[in-house]
Amino acid sequence: MSYPIAPGGLAAVLAHPDDESFACAGSLAVAHAAGATTRLLVATRGEAGTPDGMPDQSFGDTREAELICAARTIGLDEVSLLDGYADGGIADQPFDVLVEEIAAWLAERRPSAVITFGPHGVTGHPDHIVIGSATRWAVERLAESGIAPNAVYVISPIFDPGANLYDLSPEEQAATHRIEITGFADRKLAALECHASQTDTAEQIAALRAAIDSGDPIFEGYQRVRPIVPAPHPVFDTALL
């Protein structure tokens, strides 16, 4: 999807199609509804997300189409894909080149805040870890020129209604920001359903649907890592912008 560029707003820099729907679809939808420009940069086309895990370029076409479906459902203003990064092999490319590409994307768009993965990438996936690290390095590069985003957040899935429990890093298990997405949970659910080729969405869809049916508030969590939120921080912040 290509749109005229307007500076500011909220951006997410992630590794695969569907990362956005699992991790931050609700928060992006909240920001968009409030009038902020919302953007997503994805490093790979997800071609290794086949049932047998074997890369298939035609399957990458399917996953790219699913990403566009999810982006439209969430209400994103722009989705970009990096070129030349294999699903499962982001670390095989020069890290400095990845940093420069992310920095160039951010410099052109000037988002006010960026969401990415923390040191463990939530699930420990190597692509998640590398893209999160490269994004944070890219922001530091931009800071040298005075054009870095005002804030960087890493995904903290501690409010996830699903049953998955991960060995999270300290940053990922200590949210500073809790964003209520209750009014946009249906949109997050529909975004997850866009990724029909991925069987691991079924558990998340079921858990989110149950959370919606319960009528209780639904949240997404983040740790702000730039600037660092000083301890103690006894209450959650409730907005990313």
Question: 148-165: per-residue pLDDT in tens?
Answer: 999 999 999 999 987 677
Q: Which two tokens stand for residue 227?
A: 């600037």
The residue ranges of every structural domain in the chain are: 10-226
Reported in sequence order, the residue ranges of 117-185 that DSSP labels E, i.e. its strands, are: 151-155, 177-180
pLDDT digits (tens, 9 = 90+) for 172-226: 999 999 999 999 999 999 999 999 999 999 999 999 999 999 999 999 999 999 9
Q: How many CB atoms lie within 10 A of CB 210?
A: 11
Segment 102-117 shows an average pLDDT of 97
Segment 40-50 shows an average pLDDT of 96
Mean pLDDT of the chain: 95
Within 8 A by CB and 6+ apart from 200, the residues are none
Position 2 scores a pLDDT of 46
pLDDT band with cut points at 50, 70 and 90 for residue 1 = very low
> Does 56 have pLDDT greater than 50?
yes
Which residues make beta-bridge pairs with 228? 225
Position 163 scores a pLDDT of 65
Poorest-pLDDT segment among 5-9, 72-76, 136-140, 155-159: 5-9
Q: How far apart are CA 29 and CA 189, in angstroms?
A: 12
Q: How far apart are CA 45 and CA 64, in angstroms?
A: 6
3-class SS at 91?
Answer: helix
Within 8 A by CB and 6+ apart from 74, the residues are 20, 21, 25, 28, 29, 32, 38, 187, 188, 191
Q: How far apart are CA 240 and CA 31, in angstroms?
A: 8
CB 82 within 8 A of CB 42: yes
Domain 10-226 - what CATH class?
alpha beta
CB burial of 80-93 (b: ≥16 within 10 Å; e: otherwise) equals: bbbeebbbbebbeb
3-class SS at 173?
Answer: coil
Segment 34-56 shows an average pLDDT of 94
Position 11 scores a pLDDT of 98
Position 231 scores a pLDDT of 87
Rg of the chain on CA atoms, in Å: 17
CB 90 within 8 A of CB 130: yes
